[in-house]
A and B are shown apart, each in its own frame.
Chain A
């Protein structure tokens, strides 16, 4: 029935106060509530005449600002469109100042009906204005005489019911798009008048898509004002930026609202009176801001709406905070609020997580530093105390304790070489001869069967080595065909086969040789390999001497029974004989079954304590998984023990191993004695 243009002005509290979003929202909320009230009251008051509504509308003004409201009545129009309503607004275009001006005398108590000559503010009107380039510049430069005030909000409401407002803007946007520039539409009263009308629309265009410079503060005021009813699909908001700078905060929240109740269209604009200085400043700021945003947008090449009040917020953050792009439906208020809350929560969580991670990293690096410190200390001890007096110090308690903690990899080569010793007196010459010999004996006969060799009838050592080398620690990528150690390992194994044709190559050796190569050069590795494989345990296993192997199994079972009687019983019930899992542990000295670092540590102690440590380590593993193993049946036990968990903790395992004692019975018979007994028994059988 009634259509309104209501203008109100609000003074910002303090020009120097930085106003952040939330505080503005809270400021705007009561204001917009009041505005709604005032609109209602003014609409009632209209029938009684304009002066009354004018007085009422001024109620909206906060802090007693001198601003005045204007009420436009369009009673005469039966079903008004925005164009028609805008026709009623007494605006004139001033060709000199190139501005839209509220007609002189408007806003006085003269009533509105007399104003019939206003400039059409519809499509054509905008287009005309579009022809005026850089209005902002002109305004800010020569508008010094004007008592103008910055900026306001231009909103449409429930446009689905009446699209004229939207069409109007569409055309306007199109026009602006063609210019590919920004434009400020500025309508104001003549300089002498208190009431100035200023309508400014700032738009930025990019790739034919309207990029509204949205002032989120204004969004809030709009949302509050329109009570969440607006249909975002057709709604576009154009807000001049007026609070991104301190100066601007003074003039924010000025709202003009065009209320078209009957047509369910609502258009907001602002009328306010302010000192001209503020206006100039704010326009300047606006201009700067617009430019800044334009640059930002060009960089991010983003088509979505961009806030021009993103105060010190990174572009990403600002984008997330914004409402949706114009081509998408706008969010309802509650959703928007919720999203903001969620976003804040996300930020909080991620900060929390970052802090936590940072702490964890710090802790880890602290731990690493501590470990490194320990390793440095250990290296010092090994280098200065133990290694120079090896024969004397190798069996003393201090050395053994240090040894238990694992040998630092820096000194591992030296300690291993010394600990394995060279009983076979293998010299560098012997190694070189073996390497050369292997080229003739092993590799030349590659595809030829060596039928004379009883150990490899049907299988040549070269074939086996070739097949196994690339299947040795494949996770390291060192021994694969393209890996740097492929040839070295093949050569080493070939040399060994030449050196000991009676043993030849057997699966598992490639792991032992690779372990050595990981810690030393090939020549000392060869010496170590040959001497290791000369030890009773390994030599009997690689030659598959069943009698000796069984003696070892039986000895192991003695210690199993001694240390873990309940589990031993369970294994027996399940008919899981130790050979099923020990074979793997022994042939590769755990290097295939356990992670390399743990395997290396087991090797360290195998070299300190001898073969019994292999069985002790096996019992340590059983002890560590005691409860688990008690609940498994035969096949799962076998599966578990031949494929140990990959996340075994080294220190934990070694604490379990230390809990295994390697003496049996009341006489505390050591491992070697038990083994001798078993060997004798087996030989007698």
Chain B
């Protein structure tokens, strides 16, 4: 009985998801994490990027949410695995476990929330502790549309980013400011770093592209996952 019901289910649902599953053609796959304090707008930022939508009806993230997006950069198809993590400090022991294999981080603070800006240093330490050395990080000051409530100036953000040696953007998921640029820039610097690594470390050349660097090696162009 169970099997027959499964068959029926497959008929209805399969097609809907087949399309997504079929998107197996990519040159690289990057695992990217969005981190930062609770309620700085990580999920909104991701939704704006992946679905080009924004809702003020936020739901807090418990655990991790996932999004996938394929982009074209430098003639390469790059499949982005984006992990959207819960921000509460309590859960850092859970989320830091997922830092392994991440090639890029979007470290986000809220320009209207001093506390979230003050935590940036801690987050950088976390990245250094738990992730791969070559992981690229972009510092993002989100909610830049809320000028009236701003407490962290652009200059302070820029200064901190320079200090930490990070790229810096101010963004607004609501007004769709710089959201795409952040992801594109991150992909670019990961690509740059990767070719650097390949140049300097010939042992990496034989490894399948991209997969050497991730904790979840994905078969590239290998088709069926079944």
Contacts and interface: CB of A to CB of B under 8 A. Distances in A.
B23 to A, nearest CB: 9
A659 interface: yes
Nearest to A545: B93
A506 B88 CA distance: 8
B151 interface: no
Interface stretch (B7-15, B125-133, B153-161): B7-15
A473 to B, nearest CB: 8
A573 B226 CA distance: 9
A633 B24 contact: yes
A634 B219 CA distance: 11
A216 interface: no
Given A459-B38, A623-B2, A642-B64, A631 B115 contact: no
Contact of A631 (B39, B118, B226): B226
A388 B16 CA distance: 49
Contacts of A322: none
Nearest to B224: A631
A638 interface: yes
Contacts of B13: 625, 627-628, 645
A436 interface: no
A633 B14 contact: no
B46 to A, nearest CB: 11
A631 B37 CA distance: 35
Interface of B is mostly: mixed
B32 to A, nearest CB: 11
27 contacts: A456-B89, A458-B118, A459-B37, A464-B88, A467-B60, A468-B60, A471-B39, A472-B60, A474-B56, A474-B58, A506-B91, A507-B60, A507-B87, A544-B90, A544-B94, A575-B217, A581-B63, A584-B64, A623-B2, A624-B9, A628-B17, A631-B14, A635-B66, A640-B17, A642-B66, A643-B65, A645-B13
B20 interface: yes
Interface string A637-671: 01110110100000010011001000000000000
A587 B64 CA distance: 12
B90 A507 contact: yes
B59 A592 contact: yes
A491 to B, nearest CB: 18
A457 interface: yes
B15 to A, nearest CB: 10
B115 A467 contact: no
A574 B222 CA distance: 13
Contacts of A628: 9-10, 13-14, 17
Contacts, number: 146
A472 B65 CA distance: 16
Contacts of B65: 642-643
B53 interface: no
Interface magnitude class on chain B: 35 or more
Contacts of A455: 90
A7 B122 CA distance: 103
Interface of B: 1-2, 5-7, 9-10, 13-14, 17-18, 20-21, 24, 37-39, 56-68, 79, 81, 86-91, 93-94, 115, 118-119, 122, 215-218, 225-226
Given A463-B115, A544-B93, 14 more contacts: A459-B115, A468-B38, A468-B39, A575-B216, A583-B94, A624-B9, A626-B6, A627-B7, A627-B14, A628-B10, A628-B14, A632-B17, A632-B21, A639-B67
A631 B93 contact: no
Contacts of B217: 575
Contacts of A574: 216, 225
Contacts of B66: 580, 635, 638-639, 642-643
Contact of A506 (B14, B79, B90, B226): B90
Contacts of A638: 64, 66
Contacts of B115: 458-459, 463
A554 B135 CA distance: 30
A573 B225 CA distance: 9
A343 interface: no
A584 B91 contact: no
Nearest to A563: B2
